[in-house]
Structure 1
Amino acid sequence: MQFSRTKPPVPPNETGSANRNSSLEAKPLRDLVRSFIRHRSAVIGASLVVIFILCAIFAPLLTPYEFYTSTRETLDDPSAAHWFGTDDLGRDIFTRIIYGARISLWVGFVAITGSIIIGSFLGLVAGYYGKWQDSLISRLFDILLAFPGILLAIAIVAMLGPGLNNALIAIAIINIPTFGRLMRSRVLSVKQEDFVLAARAIGMKNSRILWRHILPNCWTPIMVQGTLGFATAVIEAAALGFLGLGAQPPQPEWGTMLSDSREFIQLAPWTMIFPGLAIMLTVLGFNLLGDGLRDIFDPRMKQ
């Protein structure tokens, strides 16, 4: 009696399966990039931000002058030699604006990053655990929000002393409640989802639930708010510099440049116009980028 041999089942093509999985993962990214490119205001905002970042990085290559050296041509009109003119000490204004981008972007990045880290941690704890932790942290946020932001920053810098680092600390502190309350509200919503309840039911640790399930589902609004908060940080840094509490001379901070040129607003208006335009365009770029990201990530706006 003969038995027919049956061929063993062919295992699935692991390479093809991996390629399909990678293509599925790449598809949302492609859709996100396409949505971003189609959003005109987001593209304009990102372009402005990239321009200032490139200027800050390649500042020594964009100008032959140093931001602290005098050209012996005080209050010179804008010309081919000095595109934005010179200030009362003969320093090239274009050079100081280019180098000032380094200070403003650095202050905004470090301050907002610190605010996001501290505020998100406090918001996670308050939203997930609740009880006395939520009451204590929420009252702390309420106290910080009870004061106008710039006045609280002035008070903090006045206690710590004027300087760029102290201004950075003050800006980070006054923005903590914004990210903390946003994270808390997201956690209160996400922790009621079925996948979180299932993780609790199987005995998963709270730290693992926070890190693996809740935090990844709360980052989108934090990222959007961080982009908008960057613009606010630039304005706050300029305000502290204008009051003499931020960057100290000869550092080319935009707010300090505005303060130094107040006396020459009629004689040499370009000494105030160009630093003001730098602040305006930077803030406009981050606001447009933040609004664009909000529209892209919000499914209700896609309709």
Structure 2
Amino acid sequence: MNENSSVTSIDYAPSIHESPVRYFLRAFWRHRSAAIGSVIIILFILLAVFAPVITPYQYDQRSSALLASPSASHWFGTDDMGRDIFTRVIYGARISLQVGFFAIAGSIVIGSFLGLIAGYYGRWRDTIISRIFDILLAFPSILLAIAIVAILGPGLNNAMIAVAVINIPAFGRLMRSRVLSVKEEDFILAARAMGMKNSRILWKHILPNYWSPILVQGTLGFATAVIEAAALGFLGLGAQPPQPEWGTMLSDSREFIQLAPWTMIFPGLAIVCTVLGFNLLGDGLRDLFDPRMKE
């Protein structure tokens, strides 16, 4: 063990009287990626929650200042309809975080449930569920999302459903692989021998041991969901005008990229910063939950 790794292990070692939660929080904030990512995410959450207080205008409020450059009255400038871009970017955080949360939450619940059933019970259940995952993974994710929205119709809610569906296999296969690796362990066999029901074994012994990789995958999947929702909005299949969704804002400002580049720069930066925050947080959680993954 080199000198640097020795120092790191001492810094992260828990004290005798320190609770596991306090130790994790201390290690979390000492991890650079996790700390930076969480600060970025908290900032966007605060902006989304307090958008009416922070922004000086309504997101659909028009003015005579068309394509005005950034100034004291319009920090990010205005779009082709005279709407304040700063206001629309802040309100857009609400939509992107909403899509990411509900889409990934649905993916986690459905995917984890299917993965548990496939991994624990096996046989024909595993065959059917695994083939469903394979079919979903056979299509490029964005094309599958476009197909789902085309069937259901354009709109924010349908975009959330599409993003949730295309992310189900990632969580399902992760949970299935974890269950397959543990279901023959001694403590599971002992629980069966004691007459414990399968549902209780799944809920009490298997699921609690594997929430950490699901949490990491969910954090990283949140970043992917934001990009996928923005892509659907860019194609006109997500949030519909005048909703200030970042992808829709990018689509509406394509023809003004040379005349008024700020109409694309600030929504694009919002997407980049949000995705970066969740990726940094996911990488940090991965390192904290599994120190062997740390470089």
TM > 0.5: yes
The separation in 1 between residues aligned to 2:274 and 2:21, in whole angstroms, is 27
Structure 1 ranges of 4+ moved more than 4 A: 23-26
Which of 145, 149, 155 lines up with 2:141 in the alignment?
149
Secondary structure at 1:218 match in 2: helix
* CA shift for structure 1 position 230: 0.2
Q: Deviations over 1:205-248 (max 9, x none)?
A: 00000010000011110000000000000000000000000000
Please show how residues 33-182 of structure 1 align to structure 2 within 5 Å: 33-182=25-174
The separation in 2 between residues aligned to 1:227 and 1:177, in whole angstroms, is 16
Alignment match, 2:24: 32
Alignment match, 2:7: none
Alignment match, 1:257: 249
Please show how residues 128-277 of structure 1 align to structure 2 within 5 Å: 128-277=120-269
Tell whether the 8 Å contact from 1:78 to 1:85 is kept in structure 2 after alignment. yes
Secondary structure at 1:87 match in 2: coil
Identify unmatched segments of 5+ residues in structure 2. Answer: 1-14
Give the partner amino acid of 1:54: L
Which of 1 and 2 has greater Rg?
A: 1
TM-score (norm 2): 0.93
* CA shift for structure 1 position 28: 1.4
Give the partner amino acid of 2:34: A
* CA shift for structure 1 position 300: 1.6
Residue-pair matches, total: 281
* CA shift for structure 1 position 301: 3.8
Secondary structure at 2:19 match in 1: helix
Q: CA RMSD in A?
A: 1.4
Identify unmatched segments of 5+ residues in structure 1. Answer: 1-22
TM-score (norm 1): 0.91
The separation in 2 between residues aligned to 1:120 and 1:186, in whole angstroms, is 11
Give the partner amino acid of 1:161: G
* CA shift for structure 1 position 25: 9.8
